[in-house]
Amino acid sequence: MRIAFLTAPEGVEEIELTEPWQAVLDAGWNPRLVSTRPGRVRAFRHFAPGDTYGVDHVLAGDTADAFDALVLPGGLANPDALRMNELAVGFTRSFFEAGKPVAAICHAPWTLVEADVVRGRTLTSWPSLATDIRNAGGTWVDEKVHVCHAEPATLVTSRKPADLEAFCGAFVKEFAASGAAVGST
């Protein structure tokens, strides 16, 4: 399975990128770092600069066609930049239109709000996004991880780095069950 990890060029919370990435590798799948610019993305450990990671794929009007699922890592700056980028918003929306599973943690649901895909869904996030999610037509819950099976796409959400173990376990299970895993590498 090819899993897209969508990040802005700067500001992704490092542990919210690296732990889900490792979970994808451990499942035997192929993670791909997708960004809005070529080169490397700068991760952060809260507000301190972290490591950089090489971009595998640069958005250029892409859709979900080349991928089986999407992971949206958080951080404060990362989803704020993504929600202001038309290509990133369209790419995110395309996974829902294609019925492919999506996982988002912490502040990442800001990108989902901008893509107008939370209406009628129940999800969790960093608590400060609760009003944004409600205003976008979603239902916000305070849970470690929440799986929403609303059609057409499964959405797995989580609140914060402390919830990463539950988040990774849930999205790996849902991605494997999605049907996209059948015959994918």
Query: Quick check: is 107 catalytic?
Result: yes
Map out the domains of the chain with their CATH numbers. Answer: 2-177 (3.40.50.880)
In the structure, what pLDDT confidence band is assigned to residue 54 with cuts at 50, 70 and 90? very high
Whole-angstrom distance, CA of residue 62 vs CA of residue 170: 26
Query: Quick check: is 149 catalytic?
Result: no
Helix or strand run (H / E) with residue 95: helix 86-97
Return the sign of the alpha-carbon dihedral for residues 78, 161, 108, 99.
Answer: positive
Which of the residues 106, 146, 148, 168 is marked catalytic?
106
pTM above 0.85, yes or no: yes
How confident is the model at residue 114, as a pLDDT?
98
Which of the residues 46, 107, 146, 148 is marked catalytic?
107
In the structure, what pLDDT confidence band is assigned to residue 34 with cuts at 50, 70 and 90? very high
Q: What is the pLDDT of residues 78-126, one digit of tens each?
A: 999 999 999 999 999 999 999 999 999 999 999 999 999 999 999 999 9
Q: Which residue has the tokens 């502040």?
A: 107
Whether residue 183 is predicted with pLDDT greater than 50 in this model: the reply is no
